[in-house]
Amino acid sequence: MAFSKVWVLSEMQGNQVASVSLEILSFARSISEQVEAFGWGEIGSQAEKLGDFGAKVINVVEGIQNELPAVKVASAVKEVVQSGSGPDVILIGTSYDGRDIAGRLSAMLDVPVITNVTGLSLEGEELIASHSIFGGAIVAKSKFETSKTPKIFVIRAKTFAQEPAGGAPAEVKTLSYGDVGKKSDAKIIASHAEERSGPKLDEADIVVSGGRGLGEKENYAMIEQLAKLLKGAPGASRAIVDAGWVPYAYQVGQTGKTVKPTVYIACGISGATQHLVGMKNSKNIIAINKDKDAPIFSVADLGIVGDVHKVLPKLIEALQSRA
């Protein structure tokens, strides 16, 4: 195997391991015999799950409570690296805390970090990262040009498929962090969950997304209704999230969720680069837009040049009459 030790950031999402962590663990097994998870909080309770996905060890950073975790997690990893028993490669899923951890670690260890990875392959002894740029029109490939380790990659969700390996439960080890001074003074006072019903946006078979073409906030109800009828999840473009129509959790795109449903239905979305990056790998794409030159049509399997205010009510009515 190419690398003697690979660490994968493993985060909790609710009371489960985040799917992006399991996806990356599935890949990590192909480049190293010694794949280890690292994380904080309740991750130590996931020995069976993480073991099943190939982690031999879970390294839990202790002493993180009600605070943003990045500084202490990065500091603990730094201690291990400086003791000489650190990993050759660190793989981190693109998440709020994941990017913070990658940034902190990079600056603490003075090593570069490669982000926005949408593919990773082993060529010889080197990892080559793919990146989707210009709205997915171009695939760029990059690699590290440094002898420094660890090599840190931040990988977007859905880059790899989840494949359990049937491994034994992982051994839980604890890590302690070094001197963090005032850097870790950002405290979590309260957590709020935004309720939403139906399947999760990044797991749904059908995603129905709305954009500025809906005209006004009230019209987003059509998106929710259509998603419900199709047992799918409602999504949104950045434009209407920025405008405050729907919460950020609905956003599909570069700064939001990456989705790969069986069918993605884009309603009144022009298809800015920012949005295409998050949905262009859907298996099928249906787009409804008034502007026949909208970039969304370049990725659509079925493009409807028409007014969402006319098409959607008819579609909803037709589906209702079938139910």
Partner 1 sequence: MNIVVCVKQIPDPNAPQELEEDTLTLKREGKLIMDDSDSYGVEMGLLLAEAAGGGEVTLVSMAPNGETSGLRTALAMGAAKAILVSDPRLKGSDALGTAKVLANAIKRVNPDLVIAATESTDGYTGTTPVQIAELLGLPSVTFAKKVAIENNVLKVDRQTEAGYDEIECPLPAVITVTAGVVEPRFPSFKGIMAAKSKPIEELKLEDLGISESEVGFAGAGQKVLEATPAEARSAGEIVEDDGTAHERIIAFLENLKLI
Kindly list the distances between the CA atom of residue 173 and the CA atoms of 7, 45, 47, in Å, as whole numbers in the listed order.
13, 12, 11
Taking residues 23 to 62 in sequence order and writing x for each that binds partner 1 by CB under 8 A, - otherwise, the string is ----------------------------------------
In angstroms, what is the minimal distance from the CB of 48 to partner 1?
23
Q: For partner 1, give the closer residue by CB, 86 or 167.
A: 86
Q: Which of 32, 46, 184, 258 binds partner 1 (CB under 8 A)?
A: 184
Pick the binder of partner 1 from 86, 103, 167, 169 (CB under 8 A): 103
Tokens of 249: 């959790």
Choices 25-33, 35-43, 48-56, 105-113; region in contact with partner 1 by CB under 8 A: 105-113
- Of positions 154, 175, 227, 236, contacts partner 1 by CB under 8 A: 154
187 binds partner 1 (CB under 8 A): yes
Instruction: Identify the three-state secondary structure at position 6.
Output: strand
Least CB distance from residue 183 to partner 1, whole Å? 5
- Position 185 contacts partner 1 (CB under 8 A): yes
Q: CB 171 → partner 1: shortest distance, Å?
A: 28
Q: Which of 204, 203, 194 is nearest to 230 (CA)?
A: 204
- Choosing from 33, 48, 82, 107, the residue that interacts with partner 1 (CB under 8 A) is 107
Please name the helix (run of DSSP H) or strand (run of DSSP E) that holds residue 222, with its range, or none. helix 220-229
Binding of partner 1 at residue 78 (CB under 8 A)? no
Classified as helix, coil or strand, 32 is strand
How many residues bind partner 1 (CB under 8 A)? The answer is 97
Does position 217 interact with partner 1 (CB under 8 A)? The reply is no
Q: Mark the segment that binds partner 1 (CB under 8 A) among 25-33, 158-166, 187-195, 217-225.
A: 187-195
Binding mask 257-276 for partner 1 (x = CB under 8 A): -----xx-x-------xx--
Which residues does 142 contact at the CB level (< 8 Å), separation at least 6? 114, 128, 129, 131
Contact 225, 320 (CB under 8 A): no
**Is 63 one of the binding residues for partner 1 (CB under 8 A)?**
no
CB 300, min distance to partner 1, A: 5
CA distances from 245 to 13, 21, 254, 291 (A): 25, 30, 19, 22
List, in sequence order, every residue forming a beta bridge with 117; answer none if it has no partner: 155
Q: How far is the CB of 238 from partner 1 (least distance, A)?
A: 7
Which phi and psi (to 5°) does residue 178 adopt?
Answer: -90, -160
Helix (H) or strand (E) holding 37: strand 35-40
Helix (H) or strand (E) holding 81: helix 70-82
Task: Compute the residue count for the chain.
Answer: 323
Q: Is 124 in the site for partner 1 (CB under 8 A)?
A: no
Question: Angle 214-227-302 (CA atoms, 0-180°, nearest 5)?
Answer: 70
From 139, 161, 165, 221, residue interacting with partner 1 (rule: CB under 8 A): 139
Rule CB under 8 A: is residue 280 a binding residue for partner 1?
A: yes
Cα Dmax for the chain:
67
The residues in 281-310 that bind partner 1, with binding defined as CB under 8 A, are: 284-286, 288, 292, 297-307, 310
Of 173, 144, 252, 269, nearest to 213 by C-alpha is: 269
CA distance 162 to 266: 26
Q: Min. distance of Cβ 53 from partner 1 in angstroms?
A: 19
